[in-house]
Amino acid sequence: MARLSLKQRFDFDVLIEPEDRLVYALLQYMACDGHGDVGGCGVAEFDLLNLAEALDWAPGATLRRLKRIAPEVNAVCVEHENTVLFALAGAGQKEFDHLYKRRGFEGLPPNLPHVKPRFLRI
């Protein structure tokens, strides 16, 4: 597979709005940052209120933006009691399921989308 350009790696060819690009770059950073019980697995876990405050956006508008851009970048976004899990394309289903259950989400975790070759994690 050919090396992706910076524009493709950050999905700037898909995300047009500067605010979408900003929040997605933050999500990519957080997804690689790791968790207390799971390493960097492609899932960003964060407090919705903290992210909204950092971006100077209302929490509801922040969550709507996250849920709107998720399908555009082949990702999954779920929220429960202000805890958000944003699984990037290529995130591990097993790790996502673990975080989903351990963080108090109810019901079965959603299946992560099938990953297109462009998004496979190395």
Digit-coded pLDDT (tens) for 37-82: 666 788 999 999 999 999 999 999 999 999 999 999 989 999 999 9
Q: Hey, which bits of the chain come out as E strands? A: 43-47, 76-80, 83-87
Say if 54 falls within a structural domain.
yes
Separation between Cα atoms, residue 44 and residue 32, nearest integer Å: 8
pTM for the whole structure = 0.85
Which residue range(s) make up the domain with 86? 6-105
pLDDT tens for residues 7-35? 777 777 888 899 999 999 999 999 988 76
Judge whether 113 lies within some domain. Answer: no
Q: What is the pLDDT of residue 56?
A: 96
- Does a structural domain hold residue 120? no
CATH number of the CATH domain containing 84 = 1.10.10.10
Would residue 97 count as lying in a domain?
yes
Secondary structure of residue 83 in the 3-state scheme:
strand
- Residue 3: C-alpha distances to residues 9, 14, 65, 122 (Å): 9, 17, 29, 11
Residue 118 lies in a domain: no
Tokens of 101: 């259950």
